[in-house]
């Protein structure tokens, strides 16, 4: 019985790969089978959360600033080229936002669209270097679950779209995503160039909102096909739409953790640097606990806080690794390794250091009044 079921599954798989997929892409690199992509994604997750941090545990953090500048420049240009190709392959005047079937022909424009879909797929692997660089710099607190999910599932999802529907309605997702990555990697490039350039990226705080608007646009564009007839595979429409919903909730959680919860924690800090416990909170050796768990912007349960896509350094909040120093008192004017200098441990509640929108580099060696 088991052999019969296994045989049926194999026959279904072969029929899917050989007869249901787009024959134009079958001979392209990494496209004959889903297994290479699947195993690369699994290895990425394993390396990111286990192997990589273990390999760096007894090694010094690497100084990769110059490499990061060039890497982010490459990603900015690469994303801009992909965005341009998606426009020229259909979205600039030819494609319909309401319904766009896949063109499976061998026309130059249809092949150009399929080709840029393949390059977009490859770009999901180049983004793995985001995580690698964090691990080599021993910034493992940035490699959150959200970060790994975001990067780890994208190559396989894009592979499925490329294999069966390289073009059409759902490429709107890739068009928007490429544009967002132009802005995102440009920000990273400027941030990596040093403190003297931080004044040019004052718009950092809007990146999270920018990402969330992207996801709303993506799932709205996809789910409109639930209410109109369109010769486009419904399965891919639902799959991409659900991606938009999932990432919207994950990024919203990051936004609340980064910008809302930090502001709430500011209320717990008095003018003389002491911590004022709120109801239901208990201080144990200076570590606030709320029913055993407290989520801070840079510590506690890492549910997307310090998401490196949007928060390069994660040093702008008061709480580091979920702990307050010396029974809630900042010692020697330093906040647990942060570069914010406090004057005699005194914190003004309206000072920029308490503002999560303020980048750490812009506050470097600035005294708080």
Give pLDDT tens digits along the chain (369 positions): 788 899 889 989 999 998 899 999 999 999 999 999 999 999 999 999 999 999 999 999 999 999 999 999 999 999 999 999 999 999 998 999 999 999 999 999 999 999 999 999 999 999 999 999 999 999 988 898 878 988 999 999 999 999 999 999 999 999 999 999 999 999 999 999 999 998 999 888 888 788 889 999 999 999 999 999 999 998 889 988 888 888 787 777 766 666 665 556 655 554 455 544 444 444 444 444 444 433 333 333 444 433 444 444 444 433 434 443 433 334 343 433 334 333 333 333 333 333 334 334 343 444 334
Per-residue pLDDT reduced to its tens digit, 26-77 = 999 999 999 999 999 999 999 999 999 999 999 999 999 999 999 999 999 9
Q: How far apart are CA 102 and CA 25, in angstroms?
A: 14
Active site residue 340: no
- Catalytic residue, chosen from 150, 181, 221, 340, is 150
As a whole number of Å, the CA-based R_g of the chain is 24
pTM of the model: 0.73
Closest CA to 237 of 216, 220, 250: 220
Question: Do 72 and 192 contact (CB within 8 A), yes or no?
Answer: yes
Q: How far apart are CA 147 and CA 93, in angstroms?
A: 35
Q: What is the chain's percent helix, strand, coil content, to nearest 5?
A: 60, 5, 40
Closest CA to 254 of 203, 313, 295, 195: 295
Place of tokens 């072969």: 14
DSSP H helix total and E strand total for the chain: 11, 2
């Amino acid at each position: 019985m088991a052999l019969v079921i296994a045989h049926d599954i194999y026959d279904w798989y072969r029929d899917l790969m050989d007869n249901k997929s787009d024959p134009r892409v079958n001979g392209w690199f990494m496209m004959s089978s889903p297994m290479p992509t699947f195993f690369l994604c699994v290895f990425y997750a394993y390396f990111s959360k286990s192997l990589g941090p273990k390999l760096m545990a007894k090694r010094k953090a690497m100084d990769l600033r110059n490499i990061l500048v060039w890497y982010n420049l490459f990603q900015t240009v690469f994303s801009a080229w992909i965005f341009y190709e998606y426009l020229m392959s259909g979205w600039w005047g030819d494609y319909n936002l309401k319904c766009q079937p896949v063109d499976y022909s061998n026309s130059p424009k249809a092949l150009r669209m399929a080709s840029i879909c393949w390059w977009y797929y490859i770009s999901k692997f180049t983004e793995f270097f985001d995580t690698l660089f964090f691990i080599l710099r021993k910034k493992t607190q940035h490699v959150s679950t959200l970060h790994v999910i975001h990067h780890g599932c994208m190559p396989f999802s894009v592979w499925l779209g490329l294999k069966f529907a390289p073009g059409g309605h759902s490429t709107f997702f890739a068009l928007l995503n490429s544009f967002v990555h132009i802005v995102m990697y440009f920000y990273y490039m400027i941030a990596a160039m040093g403190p003297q350039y931080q004044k040019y990226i004052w718009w950092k705080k809007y990146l999270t909102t920018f990402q969330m608007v992207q996801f709303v646009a993506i799932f709205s564009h996809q789910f409109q096909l639930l209410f109109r007839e369109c010769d486009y595979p419904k399965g891919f429409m639902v799959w991409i739409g659900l991606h938009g919903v999932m990432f919207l909730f994950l990024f919203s959680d990051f936004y609340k953790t980064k910008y809302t919860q930090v502001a709430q924690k500011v209320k717990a800090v008095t003018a003389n640097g002491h911590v004022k416990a709120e109801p239901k909170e208990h201080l144990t050796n200076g570590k606030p606990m709320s029913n055993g768990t407290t989520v801070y912007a840079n510590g506690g349960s890492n549910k997307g806080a310090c998401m490196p896509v949007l928060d390069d350094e994660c040093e702008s909040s008061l709480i580091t690794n979920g702990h307050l120093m010396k029974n809630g008192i900042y010692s020697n004017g330093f906040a647990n390794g942060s570069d914010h200098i406090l004057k005699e441990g005194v914190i003004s509640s309206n000072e920029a250091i308490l503002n999560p929108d303020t980048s750490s580099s812009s506050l470097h060696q600035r005294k708080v009044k």
